[in-house]
């Protein structure tokens, strides 16, 4: 083949101490659809953001038609002919379809007035070229996600985009809509556009793409013609890493059911989720981003309401959407986003660490001098939180220490059921193994642990059982001895029948 | 530096302390330069004027700390005044009963604000601008342009009676007791901790089991009741219930709360600073009045202080941050923070 239309080589990008991309390469050719696959956290999104001009790479080069280019901001990327379609497009809801397509570069007539008729005609022409007749005058509000993506693609066409990046565009689409999107993508491809397609759905990857690039842990793994690959081979390459530097769970006596979830349903998020976690057990909830795992744990904890089903702790049914009652019943949730959900960043370490159980620290209804400090101090010491002073704002701590404060906050309530959502995301390896040891010890003490995790080694190292969610439903319940990377990944990508 | 020493130093350098020092400075400079500021009569007048502002500023501090605001307080005060007048006209002759009904009315008006803010998730700024106009309008519906002024003298005298042996009105003791109660609630109870948490990050507060919706609803109701109490005092002090009572008082209350160091974005501030700010504004205003500064200029000064109080802490914070960043470069890294 000739010179690639767009080529990345040796691209690296770090966020603080976390390396998101290391020495990644990618070549896109005119008239070719190229798939990019990898687990959660493999670096796909970072790569897309570099192509979109949102992030600048720390190292490496990007060439367009063989000439090096720098994409300092999204406008640069657009000028270079790179268009990105996201899973959920961000249109201006109260502007019309035509106005959205031409936002910021409307055709003008004299006195810089917008040439509405011309804009409308060109919008119609673009939609016709895509084979999707959209009314150019209707507001974007109320368009289906599939139609919103068409508007974005029309925008890309009007900019003469030569590279079309689609970041999990099909996640929210129905079968018919996917087919229509693919028809559009194929016709663009055949007219010379380079298409980069990111998806977790292998059938779609193979239906659309000529070549497949696999990424893992921020690194490039392989690029091969799709015809030379099988689904099993792709999965193997996505997950094939060593399970190292992890603390495996110690065996514990499995006791009575502690957390029972029956038929839990929240329309649009998850449906008919049922499972039981027993004392002494660590049960992992695995699945891809967007499969509904965090939503399920939030509903169990009462932060979000649910539409049907029930949650019982030690046989006692919890009221719906009542976090205080859930805490009272012995539930604790270490949430996914510790900066937004786990901690009040501007408050001190001691206030954060005692927030859920501040009522228990009162005497005659009052928090007397130092009660919180003493309580927080006990747990800070036990978890070895490194803070200059407990009265310092928790925002001054490192990520790993912040996570310890969240854990301290909830362990201090002596939970009977502990839900941890991505407990080791974004923290260093040392703290990671401390967290794992802690979870294992808690299970040993009879706590039922439900661990939501996107990191397969963590899931496989820690869990007695692995529940796998796929598109809002429980797809598999795999006991420890039968759980391996392939069985979990296949269930998570909806290929459970093949394992 | 040892922990207690650090705390003393940070307390002295705090905004509360700056405002407290400013009160003393204005009082001393005023007493030395303006005729009459040193007189007991001046302080009686300052106190009478500060009482209704302080009554409303107490709950307003809590509301602003949760990240909300209530601009309808002066209108709740006005509507309460007119209802109080109407009750007297109808022949309700028990003062305790009238006060109880007025407080109940205030709580209901505040609860309406709370319902719109928490039940429908509307911004409190918009809701309370709406009820600012609505409640004032209702006040005119109740009394029109009339004034009810024929209260028994023992009622009106009781409201402004001095503490024996002084010129200071005894109502300031009621304010003091309420201030201690609100101060304890905010600074030494689990509820107070929850207010700071939800003002900083409502989502994290929900994840900690704090009922953000319920708490905010009751805060708005309490603000209404306190505004009504201020309205009762207002009516008795001036022996006059009129629909325009307390017009524009919300500006004085919000100015005091912000000048007292409470962040308009929520989550930061304390009651001591707000009480000091109420005193500062009261002393400054009355001292300047004695110096024959025109009323318009006083309004300009209040407005400027309001802006300064919002900008001030940010500038102080920025300067501190800059100093902190520069520090590592200085040749004495051993200097403690």
Q: Which token pair is B94?
A: 């028990």
Determine, yes or no, domain membership for A150.
yes
- How would DSSP label each residue in B100-127? HHHHHHHHHHHHHHHIIIIIS---HHHH
**pLDDT score of B100 more than 70:** yes
Q: Does one domain contain both A266 and A324?
A: yes
Q: Does one domain contain both A204 and A283?
A: no
Q: Which residue of B has its CA nearest to A413?
A: B208
Q: Which residue of B has its CA nearest to A339?
A: B204
Would you state the pLDDT for residue B11? 52
Determine, yes or no, domain membership for A100.
no
Does the distance separating the beta carbons of B197 and A342 come in below 8 Å?
no
Q: Does one domain contain both A235 and A261?
A: no
Backbone angles phi, psi at A25, to 5 degrees: -135, 155
Q: A414 CA to chain B: closest CA distance, Å?
A: 14
**Rounded CA separation B187/B190 (Å):** 9
Determine, yes or no, domain membership for A119.
no
Does the distance separating the beta carbons of A335 and B189 come in below 8 Å?
no
Determine, yes or no, domain membership for A325.
yes
Q: Does one domain contain both A328 and A392?
A: yes
Determine, yes or no, domain membership for A113.
no
**Rounded CA separation A411/A331 (Å):** 10
**Rounded CA separation B335/B324 (Å):** 12
Does the distance separating the beta carbons of A326 and B204 come in below 8 Å?
no
B4 CB within 8 Å of a chain A CB? no
In this prediction, residue B96 has a pLDDT band, given cuts at 50, 70 and 90, of very high
In this prediction, residue B325 has a pLDDT band, given cuts at 50, 70 and 90, of low
Q: What is the mean pLDDT of residues B292-315?
A: 82
B203 CB within 8 Å of a chain A CB? yes
In this prediction, residue B10 has a pLDDT band, given cuts at 50, 70 and 90, of low
Per the prediction, chain B carries an average pLDDT of 89
Q: Does one domain contain both A84 and A185?
A: yes
Does the distance separating the beta carbons of A340 and B201 come in below 8 Å?
yes
Determine, yes or no, domain membership for A196.
yes
The number of folded domains in chain A is: 2
DSSP annotation of A320: T
Last residue of a domain, one of A239, A266, A295: A239
Determine, yes or no, domain membership for A118.
no
Alpha-helical (H) ranges within A138-281 are 145-158, 175-190, 202-208, 231-239
CATH of the domain at A341: 3.40.50.300
Q: Does one domain contain both A171 and A275?
A: no
Would you state the pLDDT for residue B75? 98
Q: Does one domain contain both A158 and A274?
A: no
Q: Does one domain contain both A281 and A228?
A: no
Q: Which token pair is A404?
A: 């310890």
Last residue of a domain, one of A185, A207, A239: A239
Structural domain boundaries enclosing A228: 6-91+143-239
Domains of chain B: 35-312 (1.10.3470)
**Rounded CA separation A4/B141 (Å):** 78
Last residue of a domain, one of A196, A213, A239: A239
Cα dist from B147 to A54, B99, B135, B151, whole Å: 65, 18, 17, 11
**pLDDT score of B311 more than 80:** no
Q: Does one domain contain both A227 and A274?
A: no
Would you state the pLDDT for residue A173? 78
**Rounded CA separation A429/A217 (Å):** 14
Residue that wins the pLDDT comparison between B10 and A344:
A344
Q: Does one domain contain both A176 and A277?
A: no
SS3 for A305?
coil
Nearest to B152 by CA among B69, B236, B72, B68: B236
Q: Does one domain contain both A165 and A270?
A: no
Determine, yes or no, domain membership for A120.
no
| Tens of pLDDT, residue by residue, chain A (499 residues) | 578 999 999 999 987 767 889 999 999 999 999 999 987 778 888 899 999 999 999 999 999 998 999 998 988 998 899 999 887 788 999 999 999 999 888 888 888 888 899 999 999 999 988 888 899 999 998 888 888 989 999 998 888 889 999 988 887 777 788 888 999 999 999 999 999 999 878 888 999 999 999 998 889 999 999 999 988 888 888 877 544 445 677 778 888 999 999 999 999 899 999 999 999 999 999 988 778 999 999 999 999 999 999 999 999 999 999 999 999 999 999 998 888 899 999 999 999 999 999 998 998 889 887 889 999 999 888 888 888 889 889 988 877 889 899 999 999 999 999 999 988 877 766 677 788 889 999 999 999 999 998 888 888 889 999 999 998 999 999 998 888 888 888 898 887 654 3
Residues of chain A found within 8 Å of residue B189, distances taken between Cβ atoms: 362, 365-367
Does the distance separating the beta carbons of A327 and B209 come in below 8 Å?
yes
**Rounded CA separation A266/B28 (Å):** 65
- Number of Cβ pairs closer than 8 Å across A and B? 72
Does the distance separating the beta carbons of B207 and A333 come in below 8 Å?
yes
Q: Cβ-count burial of B188 within 10 angstroms (0-12 exposed, 13-18 middle, 19+ buried)? A: middle
Residues of chain A found within 8 Å of residue B197, distances taken between Cβ atoms: 344, 347, 351, 355
Q: Does one domain contain both A210 and A270?
A: no
Chain A positions with Cβ closer than 8 Å to B: 301, 303, 323-324, 326-327, 333, 335, 340-347, 351, 355-356, 358-359, 361-362, 365-368, 389, 391, 409
């Amino acid at each position: 083949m000739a010179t690639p239309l767009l080529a990345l080589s040796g691209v690296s990008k770090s966020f603080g101490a976390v390396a998101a991309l290391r020495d990644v390469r990618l070549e896109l050719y005119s008239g070719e659809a190229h798939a990019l696959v990898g687990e959660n956290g493999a670096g796909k999104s970072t790569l897309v953001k570099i192509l979109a001009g949102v992030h600048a790479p720390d190292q490496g080069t990007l060439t367009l038609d063989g000439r090096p280019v720098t994409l300092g901001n999204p406008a640069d990327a657009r000028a270079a002919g790179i268009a990105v379609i996201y899973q959920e497009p961000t249109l201006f809801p109260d502007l019309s379809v035509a106005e959205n397509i031409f936002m910021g570069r409307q055709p003008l007539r004299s006195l810089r007035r917008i040439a509405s008729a011309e804009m409308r005609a060109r919008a119609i022409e673009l939609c016709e070229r895509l084979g999707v007749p959209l009314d150019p005058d209707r507001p974007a509000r109320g368009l289906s996600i599939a139609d919103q993506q068409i508007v974005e693609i029309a925008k890309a066409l009007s900019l003469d985009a030569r590279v079309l990046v689609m970041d999990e565009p099909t996640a929210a689409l129905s079968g018919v809509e996917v087919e229509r999107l693919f028809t559009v993508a194929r016709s663009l491809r055949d007219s010379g556009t380079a298409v980069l397609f990111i998806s977790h759905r292998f059938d779609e990857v193979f239906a659309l793409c000529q070549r497949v690039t696999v990424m893992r842990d921020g690194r490039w793994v392989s690029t091969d013609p799709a015809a030379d690959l099988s689904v099993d081979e792709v999965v193997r390459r996505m997950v094939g890493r060593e399970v190292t530097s992890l603390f495996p769970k110690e065996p514990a006596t499995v006791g009575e059911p502690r957390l029972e979830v029956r038929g839990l349903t929240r329309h649009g998020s998850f449906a008919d989720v049922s499972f039981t976690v027993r004392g002494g057990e660590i049960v992992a909830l695995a699945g891809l981003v967007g499969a509904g795992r965090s939503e399920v744990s939030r509903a169990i904890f009462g932060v979000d309401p649910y539409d049907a089903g029930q949650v019982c702790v030690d046989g006692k049914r919890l009221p719906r959407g009542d976090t205080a009652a859930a805490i009272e019943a012995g539930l604790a949730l270490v949430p996914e986003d510790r900066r937004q959900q786990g901690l009040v960043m501007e408050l001190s370490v001691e206030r954060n660490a005692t927030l859920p159980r501040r009522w228990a620290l009162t005497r005659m209804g009052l928090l007397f001098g130092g009660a919180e400090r003493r309580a927080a101090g006990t747990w800070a010491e036990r978890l070895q939180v490194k803070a200059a002073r407990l009265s310092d704002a928790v925002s001054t701590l490192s990520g790993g220490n912040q996570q310890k404060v969240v854990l301290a906050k909830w362990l201090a309530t002596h939970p009977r059921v502990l839900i941890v959502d991505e407990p080791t995301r974004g923290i260093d390896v040392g703290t990671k193994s401390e967290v794992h040891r802690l979870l294992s010890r808690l299970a040993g003490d009879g706590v039922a642990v439900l661990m939501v995790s996107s990191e397969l080694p963590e899931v496989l190292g820690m869990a007695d059982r692995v529940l796998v969610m796929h598109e809002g439903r429980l797809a598999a319940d795999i006991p420890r001895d039968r759980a391996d990377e392939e069985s979990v990944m296949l269930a998570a990508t909806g290929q459970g029948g093949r394992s | 530096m040892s922990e207690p020493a650090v705390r003393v130093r940070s307390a002295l350098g705090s905004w509360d302390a700056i405002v407290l020092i400013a009160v003393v400075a204005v009082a001393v400079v005023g007493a030395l330069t303006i005729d009459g500021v040193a007189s007991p009569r001046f302080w009686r007048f300052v106190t009478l004027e500060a009482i209704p502002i302080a009554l409303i500023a107490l709950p307003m501090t809590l509301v602003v700390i949760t990240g909300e605001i209530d601009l309808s307080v002066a209108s709740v005060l006005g509507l309460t005044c007119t209802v109080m007048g109407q009750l007297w006209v109808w022949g309700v002759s028990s003062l305790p009963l009238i006060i109880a009904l007025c407080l109940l009315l205030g709580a209901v008006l505040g609860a309406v604000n709370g319902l719109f803010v928490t039940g429908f998730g509307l911004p409190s700024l918009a809701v309370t601008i709406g009820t600012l106009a609505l409640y004032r309008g209702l006040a005119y519906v109740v009394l029109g342009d009339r004034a009810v002024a024929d209260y028994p003298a023992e009622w009106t005298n009781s409201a402004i009676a001095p503490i024996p042996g002084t010129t200071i009105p005894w109502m300031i003791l009621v304010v003091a007791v309420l201030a201690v109660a609100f101060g304890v609630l905010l600074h030494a109870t689990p509820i107070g901790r929850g207010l700071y948490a939800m003002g900083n990050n409502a989502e994290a507060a929900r994840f900690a089991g704090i009922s953000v919706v319920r708490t905010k609803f009751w805060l708005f109701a309490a603000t209404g009741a306190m505004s009504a109490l201020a309205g009762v005092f207002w009516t008795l002090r001036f022996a006059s219930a009129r629909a325009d009572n307390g017009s524009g008082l919300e500006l004085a209350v919000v100015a005091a709360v912000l000048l007292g160091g409470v962040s308009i974005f929520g989550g930061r501030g304390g009651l001591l600073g707000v009480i000091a700010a109420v005193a500062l504004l009261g002393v400054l205003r009355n001292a300047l009045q004695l110096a024959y500064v025109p009323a318009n200029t006083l309004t300009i000064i209040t407005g400027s202080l309001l802006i300064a109080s919002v900008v001030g802490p940010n500038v102080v914070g920025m300067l501190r941050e800059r100093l902190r960043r520069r520090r590592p470069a200085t040749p004495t890294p051993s200097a403690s923070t």
